[in-house]
Amino acid sequence: MEFKFGRKTLFLWQLRVGAAFAALTLFFALLAAYSIYLYIPAALAVLLGVILIFCYLPAFFSRYKVFVGKTSVVVTRGVFVVKSHIMPFKRLVFAGGYSTPLARLFRLEGITLRAARATVIMPEIECDAARRLIFELGGDKSDD
C-alpha cells in the first residue's frame, strides 16, 4: 500500500511557510524606517519565500512517498538528495499520530515512526489514511 501527500498537505505547508516569511518581511520592512538598506533583506525574504512556496514545497511533497510492504515500511523523501528509510516491522517500536490545531482544521494528521535507532516524522496526511496506516503498523489504535 502506498501513501502520497495530497493538496491539503501542500496547502497547509504553504500557509505555514508563507506566514513565516511574511513575518520576516514585515520585520525587515519595519526596520527599514531606520535604514533604507534593510529593504534589500526584505526583498530577499520575499523572493526566497516565493521560491519555497511555489517551487520547493510542491516538488518536495510530490516526491515524498510512504510504501507499506509485507515486511517493512519504506519512506522516500527529498528534492535534491533523495533518501529512503526502510523500517522493518520487527524493529518498529512505535507508530503514532500527531496533529496541530491548524492541521485539525484541514482534517490532517502527521505520523511518527520509531525504531530501535531511528525516528521518522512524516508530514500530515488525511486523518483516515493516517489512522489506517497506524493501525496497519500495529501502533496506537485508539479513536481519540
Give me the tens of pLDDT residue by residue for the chain, a chain 144 residues long: 888 888 999 999 999 999 999 999 888 888 888 888 888 888 888 999 999 999 999 999 999 999 988 888 899 999 999 999 888 888 888 889 999 999 999 999 999 999 888 888 999 999 998 898 888 887 554 444
Is residue 41 assigned to a domain? yes
Is residue 142 assigned to a domain? no
Is residue 141 assigned to a domain? no
Does one domain contain both 75 and 37? no
- Rounded distance, CA 41 to CA 60, Å? 25
pTM (2 decimals)? 0.83
Q: Considering only CA atoms, which of 43, 112, 44, 120 is closest in space to residue 75?
A: 120
- Can you give the residue range of the structural domain that contains 120? 66-136
Number of residues that this document lists for the chain: 144
Q: What is the DSSP string of 83-142?
A: EEEEEEGGGEEEEEEE--HHHHHTTEEEEEEEESS-EEEEEEEEHHHHHHHHHHTT----
Does one domain contain both 106 and 125? yes
Is residue 143 assigned to a domain? no
Strand partners, 2: 67
Does one domain contain both 98 and 114? yes
Number of domains in the chain: 2
